[in-house]
Structure 1
Amino acid sequence: MAEIPAVLREVDEDDIPEMVEQLLDSFNAGRTREKSFRIQQLKNLLRMLDEKEDEITEAGFRDLGRNRQETIFFELFSIKGEIIDAINNLAEWMKPEHVKKDLANVINTLCIVPEPFGVVCVFSAWNYPVLELLQPLAGAIAAGNTVLLKPSDLAIHTSNLMMDLIPQYLDTDCYKVAAGGIPLCQAVLKERFDYIMFTGSPGIGKIIMRAAAENLTPVTLELGGKNPCIVDSSANIKVAGKRIAWGKYTNAGQSCLAPNYILCHQSIRDDLVASITAAVRQFYGENPRESNNYGRIINTRHFDRVHALLDGSGNVVLKGESDRNDLYIAPTIITDVKPDDTIMQDEIFGPILPIICIDDIDDAIDLINDGEKPLALYAFTSDKSVKEKLTTRTSSGAISFNDVLVHFSVRTLPFGGVGHSGQGAYHGKFTFDTFSHKKAYYSTFTGIAEPLMKIRYPPFTDQNIQRGKKLLVPTIKNGSSYFTYIILTCVIVAVISIILNIL
């Protein structure tokens, strides 16, 4: 697939202040507060995905050479699941969360109330340009925010399509799209938002975070990283090879969760290479270039970056042709790679898979811990001790055993990075929580409760201090003290109930 010339439909950066002001006015007017409004907007978004599926998948093909089914499977299914999950559970998510009471607050109302932050800005990446734009949007809508969407300017066809579709389906006073390049991004970052979510590279993430700091704006950053994939001798090599090949070469390797490099013992390396190679042929045929299941690099700049990694690193054992005019780089495996090679310095974000040989699991852990914390750590093993070591002695956004990528699709697990790979998390209720401020709610009585409050008022006495200590300072639990606490709490509640009934 040759790079298709296209013109990005850009918003004038001078229009950004007015757009943000309109979003703020809509939020302050309470437009997004009602549950019924949120659910209706979510249903409209779901209808857009159903009615415009052909246009969305065509844009994915034109931007990334990606098969229609791959876009449906990796993007649309995930977004639809997020939306439907929010629709089904929003009433429960919006309820105040009552918390445990201590002795001093037994008659008071204590809870946590989720409230929307306000005006949210979502920056999307280009590799999954619909997913990374609309999945956060669904959670921001569910949480009651107004939203400014900034699609990636590299995924031109998808960006233009979102500029057309979103105003057709969503309330234009509450949800706006601002497409454009660097000048537009700079204009957006000059505005004050109540929350920012960004998906992209660590370098741009630092720029986003610096801009957010000017207004003390909280951020969620999804940044990727060099995800290691360990394969030990106890693994099923055939299955491991197939799953690694699927995870690595999907979307031509342009996935933040793709395995970035393999760590394995020399004794199983050749079998693993053979297994991955066989899977590549099964998935894409003898010539992946002719397969309609294999994608392309996003543009010539990224092609040049990825292609340059083939020079001077290790021994290429699986390599097909590459074509700059077609933005095509074949699935590639490189062995005999050293940790200090150029290809190991940054996230590859392309269809090149380096393999480093290690002596044992401790060697692998040391190598992983020498680098930045990854978005995901993968390991193929049936050894419980290996699982325990990797879980307790490494840090990553997620850890997944005997599979790759699929933890992303589990909405009951948080998706997010740690350290250099990002901060914050989302998916399912975690998205709702990300875009909600957890407000503490406290309510007490002014009449019946006042005699209990006298210990806090001057004049201060030793007797009041001792009484206050009993009420306010917990004791270390043991069987008898915890039982006493329960009995006292029940007695106090019963006495208060009797008094209230008398009154």
Structure 2
Amino acid sequence: MATINNINPSVDNIPIAVNRLRQSFFDRPVREISELRGQLSAIKVGLDKHRDQLATALEKDFHRSVLETIVLEYSCISGEIDYLTKHLASLLKADGPDEKSSLFSTLNMKTEKIPLGCVLIIVPFNYPLELSLSPLVGALAAGNNVALKLPYDKCPEFCVELTKMLLESVDPDRLIVVNGGIPESNALLDQQFDKILFTGSGKVGHIVMEKAAKYLTPTVLELGGKSPTFLTCHCGNLKKAWKRILWGKFANAGQTCVAPDYLLLDDKIYDKAISVMREVYKEMFPRINADVDYTHVIDQRAFDRLTGYLEKTKGKVIVGGGKDAASRFIEPTIVTDVEFSDILMKEELFGPILPIIRYSDLGKAVDTVRLKHDTPLAIYIFSDSTKEQELIKIIRSGGMCINETLMHAGCHSTPFGGIGQSGFGNYHGRYSIATFTHQRAVLKQRYWAEFTVDIRYPPYNYAKVRKLLVLSKLPAVPCLSVWNILAYVVVLAVGMIVGHSYTN
């Protein structure tokens, strides 16, 4: 196994490394767009150069299919880097106000997007390429320096390869890469950062929040939860629906934070749907065992937890269920006759097990989901009924797909993030720029406009109050050049008239 001792700061050296990172930001807090673009382009070149090695490394770490890595991770982050590189100037451009009230009409106003400073990104094992590079390129594009914590304890081969790529591609004054496990994460969380983005479990999310509170550090938490999937009697194509459900559930062996955690299946189509599911399952997994091109669970602890669920469930395993402890392989498994009280429904499964719950009334099923598993990271529905699609929207969730699964999580054109127990904050594309910048209001007042602001100075009198009341009642005007000129004229005229009336 490769070693990272020469390119990874030790736990004891993490405070020194972070302090250097902060100092380098203080020394150069502003960077030109051309430099930021160049940094993104260098990462893209490095990503393309190391693509095959990164995918192969994940295959070594937990039997992840090379094709699955390309489809689920490389293609998504490659497109996002291209987008940020192309649109960076407009994304970072200062915004002007939509309108001005008369009291502020003489002000020149804009909202700048300035970097936060130093950002900590803590990466999980399940999608370590996408979940490291997507927030990383967003933070770097916004002008920040970054400390990137990689899950070396879970997928060491990949972490070594990604670290090499990043060291070749990124200015060392702007990035430190820390490989390790819990000790390294704790050491980083003990340092002062300007923002923390953590992806992982809710349990660890609480720890991150507690650590961040010491420095009042804002956080973005991408957690998980039991994301429900509804398959209703108004589904227009059961076979295609099942393909999308099984793909979404069993991709990466179910180790996906937005995977369909369980399925709620309409009683009206139950028998037919199960029959179609069996056909689709055989097509997608004609031969499934520990040796085929299918991802295994990440470690022994995860294997024991998932197989323990299968042993304790009161539901019925109708497909799958096979396992191999030596390689941590678990067959894609579907369990029927599951109740909300079952062991499979206690927490997010995060593995290749799909429980199926029957329902007869969609409204009651939705209410139960809201009661039992409020604010999941995603909700899914397979139905051609607009009424049913709208009904499940009352479930608060980080994201939602209709007749599809997973796709929203990889789309850089839309925000990705949770709500409530599934986290808060979001990123991807232009939303990353918003997350990793501070929107600073910059106002500039002209000296000739003193007559409009003199009412704020003591001594106060009724003439000033009258003038203020008159100006405050004037309608706001849109911020167009012609309107601005008109606004100045109106304010000037009103000010002179009101002021003259009270001096005579």
Specify if TM > 0.5.
Answer: yes
Q: Mapping of 1:172-191 within 5 angstroms?
A: 172-191=172-191
SS of the aligned residue for 2:180 comes to: coil
Partners of 2:96 and 2:3 lie apart in 1 by 52
Partners of 2:456 and 2:319 lie apart in 1 by 75
SS of the aligned residue for 1:431 comes to: helix
Partner of 1:92: 90
Percent of pairs with identical residues: 35
Partner of 2:145: 146
Gaps of 5+ in 2: 494-504
Partners of 1:23 and 1:489 lie apart in 2 by 44
SS of the aligned residue for 2:311 comes to: coil
Partners of 1:452 and 1:493 lie apart in 2 by 10
| Residue identity in the other structure for 2:40 | L
Partners of 1:469 and 1:63 lie apart in 2 by 70
Work out whether 1:202 is the aligned partner of 2:197.
no
Partners of 2:28 and 2:435 lie apart in 1 by 20
Closer, same or farther: CA 192–472 of 1 in aligned 2, 3 Å: farther
Alpha-carbon offset, residue 275 of structure 1? 2.8
Partner of 1:389: 391
Partners of 2:470 and 2:41 lie apart in 1 by 52
Partners of 1:414 and 1:148 lie apart in 2 by 23
Closer, same or farther: CA 381–176 of 1 in aligned 2, 3 Å: same
Partner of 2:465: 465
Alpha-carbon offset, residue 408 of structure 1? 1.8
What RMSD in Å do the two structures reach over aligned CA positions? 2.3
Partners of 1:482 and 1:167 lie apart in 2 by 51
Partner residue of 2:379 out of 369, 372, 377:
377
* TM-score in terms of structure 2 length: 0.91
Alpha-carbon offset, residue 412 of structure 1? 2.1
Closer, same or farther: CA 184–98 of 1 in aligned 2, 3 Å: same
Moved more, 345-354 or 304-313: 304-313
| Residue identity in the other structure for 2:242 | G
Partners of 1:280 and 1:104 lie apart in 2 by 67
Deviations 1:352-385 (A, max 9, x none): 0001111212112111111231000000111111
Partner residue of 1:57 out of 47, 55, 60:
55
Partner residue of 1:80 out of 78, 81, 102:
78
Partners of 2:208 and 2:248 lie apart in 1 by 29
Alpha-carbon offset, residue 181 of structure 1? 1.7
Alpha-carbon offset, residue 38 of structure 1? 1.2
Work out whether 1:125 is the aligned partner of 2:118.
no
| Residue identity in the other structure for 2:268 | S
Deviations 1:403-422 (A, max 9, x none): 00111232221110000101
Alpha-carbon offset, residue 6 of structure 1? 7.5
Deviations 1:284-315 (A, max 9, x none): 213354432x2111111111111111123211
Partners of 1:435 and 1:489 lie apart in 2 by 32
Kept after mapping to 2: 8 A contact 1:417/1:425: yes
Closer, same or farther: CA 495–460 of 1 in aligned 2, 3 Å: closer
Partners of 1:190 and 1:482 lie apart in 2 by 49
Closer, same or farther: CA 381–470 of 1 in aligned 2, 3 Å: farther
| Residue identity in the other structure for 2:426 | A
Partners of 1:466 and 1:31 lie apart in 2 by 46
Kept after mapping to 1: 8 A contact 2:290/2:327: no
Partners of 1:461 and 1:496 lie apart in 2 by 20
Closer, same or farther: CA 315–29 of 1 in aligned 2, 3 Å: same
Partners of 1:101 and 1:345 lie apart in 2 by 53
Q: Mapping of 1:194-273 within 5 angstroms?
A: 194-235=194-235, 236-273=237-274
Alpha-carbon offset, residue 249 of structure 1? 0.6
Partners of 1:332 and 1:239 lie apart in 2 by 19
Deviations 1:84-132 (A, max 9, x none): 1111011111111001211111221111100000011100000001111
Partner of 1:478: none
Partner of 2:500: none
Partners of 2:484 and 2:463 lie apart in 1 by 22
Deviations 1:189-211 (A, max 9, x none): 11000011001000111111110
Partner of 1:108: 107
Alpha-carbon offset, residue 491 of structure 1? 3.2
Partner of 2:283: 282
Kept after mapping to 2: 8 A contact 1:27/1:146: yes
SS of the aligned residue for 2:249 comes to: helix
Moved more, 370-379 or 136-145: 370-379
Alpha-carbon offset, residue 156 of structure 1? 1.6
Moved more, 93-102 or 311-320: 311-320
Closer, same or farther: CA 464–489 of 1 in aligned 2, 3 Å: farther
SS of the aligned residue for 1:233 comes to: coil
Work out whether 1:324 is the aligned partner of 2:319.
no
Q: Mapping of 1:410-421 within 5 angstroms?
A: 410-421=411-422
Alpha-carbon offset, residue 221 of structure 1? 0.5
| Residue identity in the other structure for 1:71 | T
| Residue identity in the other structure for 2:241 | A
Q: Mapping of 1:423-442 within 5 angstroms?
A: 423-442=424-443
Partners of 1:277 and 1:265 lie apart in 2 by 17
| Residue identity in the other structure for 1:239 | K
Partner of 2:498: none
Alpha-carbon offset, residue 389 of structure 1? 1.7
Q: Mapping of 1:286-305 within 5 angstroms?
A: 286-292=287-293, 294-305=294-305
Closer, same or farther: CA 95–190 of 1 in aligned 2, 3 Å: same
SS of the aligned residue for 2:396 comes to: coil
Deviations 1:448-488 (A, max 9, x none): 1001112111222233223323434687xxxxx999xx999
Alpha-carbon offset, residue 495 of structure 1? 6.5
Partner of 2:31: 33
Alpha-carbon offset, residue 32 of structure 1? 5.7
| Residue identity in the other structure for 2:486 | V
Alpha-carbon offset, residue 399 of structure 1? 1.4
Moved more, 457-466 or 45-54: 457-466
Gaps of 5+ in 1: 476-480, 499-503
Alpha-carbon offset, residue 320 of structure 1? 4.0
Closer, same or farther: CA 186–469 of 1 in aligned 2, 3 Å: same
Partners of 2:126 and 2:487 lie apart in 1 by 59
| Residue identity in the other structure for 1:422 | G
Partners of 2:387 and 2:166 lie apart in 1 by 50
Kept after mapping to 1: 8 A contact 2:383/2:402: yes
Closer, same or farther: CA 458–53 of 1 in aligned 2, 3 Å: same
Partner of 1:48: 46
Deviations 1:233-265 (A, max 9, x none): 000221111110110010011101110001122
Closer, same or farther: CA 357–23 of 1 in aligned 2, 3 Å: same
Partner of 2:403: 402
SS of the aligned residue for 1:443 comes to: strand
Partners of 1:194 and 1:204 lie apart in 2 by 19
SS of the aligned residue for 2:221 comes to: strand
State the aligned residue count.
484
